[in-house]
Amino acid sequence: DIDLASFGATWERYIKDSTGLREESTYNARDYIIRQRAFLQRLLDRPRIFLTDFFYARYESRARANIHRYMALLEQEQG
């Protein structure tokens, strides 16, 4: 859960972390978006993103909102 904690951060922190990860990526923009959207969709398809009750109670709903919002941005970018 600690590895996924940034998904439940504030939107500002989440987008900063996501931008940082993207800048470190070796994929071109198109491939990055395809892979990132697939990964994020797998997280959303899980019954719970966070397995521990501690993280689930504190971050689950914000994480899902952040992921949906980011996926919408990626979709716009992909066109």
Give me the mean pLDDT over the 23-31 stretch.
95
The two three-digit tokens of residue 4, written as one number: 């996924």
**Reported pTM:** 0.93
> Does residue 40 contact residue 72 with C-beta atoms inside 8 Å?
no
pLDDT band, very low/low/confident/very high, at 79 (cuts 50, 70, 90): confident
Supply the pLDDT for residue 78. Answer: 84
Q: Write the CA distances from 30 to 37, 39, 59, 65, 67, integer angstroms.
A: 11, 14, 29, 23, 18
Per DSSP, 27 falls in state S
Neighbours of 67 (CB within 10 A): 20
Percent of the chain surpassing pLDDT 90: 97
The single-letter code of the amino acid at 27 is: Y
